[in-house]
Amino acid sequence: MPWMSLTEPKAFGFYGEDLIKLGLNEATYSFTGSDGTEYFSIHYEKLPVLLVEAIKEQQQQIEQLKLASANLTNFDLSALFSQTREIATILTREITDRQLLSSRVGELVGNLEAVINKLADLQNETSQSATLAQNFSLSPQGDLILDKNLVLNENLNVKGKTTLTELAVGKSITAGLVVIDGEKGSLQTTAGPLQLQSDSLGELEIMSGKVAIDKDGNLKISEGVIAGNSNFRNILILGAGVTEFKIQNSQGKSATECKMGEILEGKVVAECGIMWDTAPVVVNVTPSYKTTIWVEDITKDGFTIKVGDAPQKEEKVYWLAMW
């Protein structure tokens, strides 16, 4: 024991605390030592009976374990494994069937939603048709009359003849090769030239008749002037005393650039950047003062202007080449 002297004879026994841990409380008792500490001791006269009971209980447990071991030895494990695999197969098949059923249910739900949406669209179309029908009426001749504006958000396909009193188009109209662009304000073709009055059944008028082309192709200008670059029209400045003014092409100069030469005996040569492939048929000239005027030596490289009376001061001559 812990309090016994080392010089005393050795003795053997148990700790009371160990027996309490084993559940043998009946074989122990407690007392208080001289230092005030609680100690546990053992009723050794009760211990044999309790030990014998414990041994019996232990023997019963051993016998039960033996019996269980014998039963386990005789158990058919292969049958158990076979049944387990069969159950696993059934469960797998059932899970697959459930997944397939869930997928089909999802498809049915999707189809049902599509049907519901289609029914809603049909209902809207029916409502719109009913509203549209209220705005239509038939004339005694069987013509369909629309009492209100017709607004279409999709394409309108008309296979027969259509007569319109007034048509407003926001973007463009395409008729065969002709395209009328309302946004750009343009008229053009997708291929080939744009033909106007191709059958020559009447005149072609532009700007309220200020410019017109008759059925024979003659151009008539009632107001304004013919504008263009100096390649086919320009204004010449005649110096005082000049009676002859020669215009000739000069390579490398721009269309508006002319280099005046010296006046020799009333004649002057101007080198201008005209670019003609062929000679004009006629060159019309108009002086800014009263005199006779004419044109000679018309070639693809230039022409010569002559006046009957030399100007007393600088004057202008307007010329226009035509082919």
Q: Where are the domains of the chain?
A: 198-224, 233-322
CB contact at 8 A, 306 and 294: yes
User: Closest by alpha carbon to 230, among 197, 274, 194?
Assistant: 274
Contact status, residue 289 vs residue 311, Cβ threshold 8 Å: yes
Residues 281/323, Cβ–Cβ less than 8 Å:
yes
The confidence score (pLDDT) of residue 227 equals: 61
How far is the CA of 86 from the CAs of 58, 89, 93, 145, in angstroms? 41, 5, 11, 78
Query: pLDDT tens digits, the chain, 323 residues: what are they?
Result: 455 555 555 666 777 787 777 777 777 888 887 887 887 888 778 777 777 777 888 888 888 888 877 766 665 667 777 878 888 888 888 788 778 878 888 888 888 888 888 888 887 777 766 666 666 676 777 676 766 666 767 777 777 777 777 777 777 888 888 888 878 878 888 888 888 887 888 888 888 878 888 888 777 777 666 665 556 777 888 888 888 888 777 655 554 556 666 777 667 776 666 777 888 888 888 999 999 999 888 888 888 888 888 888 888 888 888 88
Q: Quote the pLDDT of residue 273.
A: 61
For residues 198 and 192, the answer to whether their CB atoms sit within 8 Å is no
